Amino acid sequence: MSDVKFLLDEKDMPRQWYNLAADLPSPLQPPLGPDGQPVRPEMLTPVFPTNLIEQEVSRERWITIPDEILQLLYLWRPSPLYRARRLEKALGTPAHIYYKNEAVSPAGSHKPNTAIPQAWYNKQFGIKRICTETGAGQWGSALALACALIGGLECKVFMVKISFEQKPFRRLMMETWGASCVASPSNQTKAGRDVLAEHPDSPGSLGIAISEAVEATVTDPTGQTRYSLGSVLNHVLMHQTIIGQEAKKQLAKAGEKQPDVIIGCVGGGSNFAGLAFPFLADKIAGAKMEVLAVEPTSCPTLTRGPFAYDHGDIAGMTPLLAMHTLGHTFVPPPIHAGGLRYHGMAPLVSQTVVEGLVKAVAYPQLKCYESAVLFARTEGIIPAPETSHAIACVIDQANQATQEGKQKVILFNFSGHGLMDLTGYDNYFRGKLADHHLEEDELAKSLKAISHLPKPKAQKTGKW
Ligand SMILES: Cc1ncc(COP(=O)(O)O)c(C=O)c1O
């Protein structure tokens, strides 16, 4: 019988996070403040604790993981690497398909990999309460879990209304871990009230929920609240790089030299970066591999959005980030992959796309569900709707390898399970889901709203 899973011991767990910013061939463009000047780290102190701001702006290649954080990550890490032999067989492909199973965390996704360090650094800094937003509920539940495990931290979550309604069990998970959760847009903030005044039936979006969470943070009169983001920012992506570092060791155990293709779905970019960035260090040093970021056709940030300066939230409270964007007023259609409904993208991921190190592709939701169902019926685990985007791309890559007669090694990030997302599967099975195509005029309208903002330089070496 051939091996299907490749495990590491706790002692093999990475001791450092990898910071791709240290190795990028072309530099990141700095975030800009309201005056159009680069943001100085001290300007971020009302929003984030200083220890995390230091990580955000760091250009050190390796950052040591504190022992107390490792002890908490050991609850489910190192996560297993699986060889999807039964999926390979069903596809009749010569490709070797591997997936890193991040669904084994208590919250069911990769998100606790950064929730634990973020909560820990906040506590170290003396913070008493953390505010955040959540799309699908994965991030909110991960932060609720982290605050519970660390203790002494209140957690408040603004949850995108469409997910709040579709996924009551995610809210209950948050409450079980002791967090409070409100549907966004809400009446609790000015940002929420403004949206409701114009669109009383708004399904919400990550951009709106971020505005609410930031506002709730900076208006706390005690000064003891900070904001926490589950994706997009440099330090968040860095915390996820334990995934790719573990995967390297596990692929070696499986007898593979390196992957030919690496695939991850992208919402804000964190699970993709977590798997791909440690391998991108090799690609930058000359290794040959294809790295694919997969997004929904209904929210095609990397494939159709320009590389521009834009706010991370709808109310324009965040600094301007140099990233691919659909415009911060863009509200994506209410697809079930709630965690992929974000108008922007991590600046680090955007820069790798500008540089040509990473290629972006987009998939419609029906094809993603079809792929997820095949995965569930062969490998057994029911994927989160977000993860199904990566799987759709994996299946295409494996079929391409079959046509070319190549024994490619395909590695992807299984970012989360879909046990809390079965409403989406229900709608799929009952034929209630449709594909959404973003019309040109709709995109042009939301991009017009950012046309007055400064333009970043799209710098690249031309090597890839
Ligand atoms: C299971 C899962 N995968 C992927 C994502 C997308 O986020 P990111 O691009 O930051 O990994 C989310 C976000 O909620 C998620 O819950």
What's the whole-number mean pLDDT along residues 402-409? 97
pLDDT score of 315? 84
- Predicted confidence (pLDDT) per residue in 60-74, tens digit: 999 999 999 999 999
For residues 371 and 314, membership in a common domain is answered with yes
- Flag whether 457 is in a domain: no
Domain count, the chain: 2
CATH assignment of the domain containing 317? 3.40.50.1100
pLDDT score of 338? 78
- Flag whether 454 is in a domain: no
Nearest atom within ligand 1 for CA of residue 230: 10
Q: Please check whether residue 241 is in contact with residue 274, taking contact to mean a CB–CB distance below 8 angstroms.
A: yes
Q: Is the CB of 138 under 6 A from ligand 1?
A: yes
379: left (phi over 0), alpha (psi -120 to 50) or beta: alpha
pLDDT score of 430? 98
- Flag whether 453 is in a domain: no
pLDDT score of 167? 81
Q: What is the DSSP string of 171-218?
A: HHHHHHTT-EEEEES-SSSHHHHHHHHH-TT----HHHHHHHHHHHHH
pLDDT score of 170? 93
Pocket test for ligand 1, best of 174, 241, 265 (most atoms within 8 A of CB): 265
Pocket test for ligand 1, best of 109, 301, 388 (most atoms within 8 A of CB): 109
pLDDT score of 113? 98
- Predicted confidence (pLDDT) per residue in 357-394, tens digit: 999 999 999 999 999 999 999 999 999 999 999 999 99
pLDDT score of 334? 76
The alpha-helical segments, DSSP class H, found in 50-134 are: 50-57, 67-73, 85-91, 112-124
CA distance 307 to 346: 11
The alpha-helical segments, DSSP class H, found in 327-432 are: 347-355, 365-379, 385-404, 422-429
Q: How is the chain split among helix, strand and coil, in percent rounded to 5?
A: 45, 15, 40
Rounded to two decimals, the pTM is 0.97
How distant is the alpha carbon of residue 426 from its chain centre? 25
For residues 258 and 365, membership in a common domain is answered with yes
Verify cis geometry, omega within 30 degrees of 0, for the bond prior to 94: no
For residues 402 and 259, membership in a common domain is answered with yes
Least confident of 4-18, 243-257, 329-343: 329-343
- Predicted confidence (pLDDT) per residue in 420-458, tens digit: 999 999 999 999 999 998 999 999 999 999 999 999 998
Pocket test for ligand 1, best of 295, 393, 415 (most atoms within 8 A of CB): 415
- Flag whether 280 is in a domain: yes
For residues 49 and 148, membership in a common domain is answered with yes
| Assigned token pair, 382 | 């029911």
CB atoms closer than 10 angstroms to residue 223? 10
CB atoms closer than 10 angstroms to residue 407? 11
How many CA atoms does the CB half-sphere of 278 hold within 13 Å? 22
pLDDT at residue 54 tops 70: yes
Q: Is the CB of 112 under 6 A from ligand 1?
A: no
- Flag whether 312 is in a domain: yes
pLDDT score of 64? 98
CA distance 321 to 233: 10
The alpha-helical segments, DSSP class H, found in 221-269 are: 234-239, 242-253
Nearest atom within ligand 1 for CA of residue 231: 10
Helix pair angle (138-150, 112-124), 10° resolution: 40
CB atoms closer than 10 angstroms to residue 439? 9
For residues 322 and 397, membership in a common domain is answered with yes
Q: Is the CB of 271 under 6 A from ligand 1?
A: yes
**Sequence-separated (6 or more) residues with CB below 8 Å from residue 12:** 78, 246, 249
For residues 28 and 74, membership in a common domain is answered with no
For residues 82 and 41, membership in a common domain is answered with no
CB atoms closer than 10 angstroms to residue 62? 14
For residues 257 and 352, membership in a common domain is answered with yes
pLDDT score of 124? 98
- Predicted confidence (pLDDT) per residue in 101-122, tens digit: 999 999 999 999 999 999 999 9
For residues 39 and 143, membership in a common domain is answered with yes
Question: Of the residues 210, 231, 252, which one is the last residue of a structural domain?
Answer: 231
- Flag whether 385 is in a domain: yes
Confidence of residue 331 (pLDDT cuts 50, 70, 90): confident
pLDDT at residue 230 tops 60: yes
Q: Helix, strand, or coil here: 132? A: strand
Confidence of residue 247 (pLDDT cuts 50, 70, 90): very high
Nearest atom within ligand 1 for CA of residue 270: 10
Percent of the chain with pLDDT over 90: 92
| Local structure of residue 30 (DSSP, 8 states) | P
For residues 49 and 160, membership in a common domain is answered with yes
CA distance 183 to 204: 8
Percent of the chain with pLDDT over 70: 100
Query: Structural domain of residue 154, as residue ranges?
Result: 17-62+111-231
End-to-end Cα, the chain, rounded Å: 40
What's the whole-number mean pLDDT along residues 202-224? 93
How distant is the alpha carbon of residue 392 from its chain centre? 17
pLDDT score of 166? 80
For residues 122 and 74, membership in a common domain is answered with no
Alpha carbon nearest to ligand 1 atom 12, residue:
339
For residues 194 and 289, membership in a common domain is answered with no
Q: Is the CB of 388 under 6 A from ligand 1?
A: no
Q: Helix, strand, or coil here: 58? A: coil
Q: Is the CB of 386 under 6 A from ligand 1?
A: yes
CB atoms closer than 10 angstroms to residue 286? 7
Q: Is the CB of 245 under 6 A from ligand 1?
A: no
- Flag whether 292 is in a domain: yes
pLDDT score of 207? 84
- Flag whether 463 is in a domain: no
- Predicted confidence (pLDDT) per residue in 176-189, tens digit: 999 999 999 999 99
pLDDT score of 175? 97
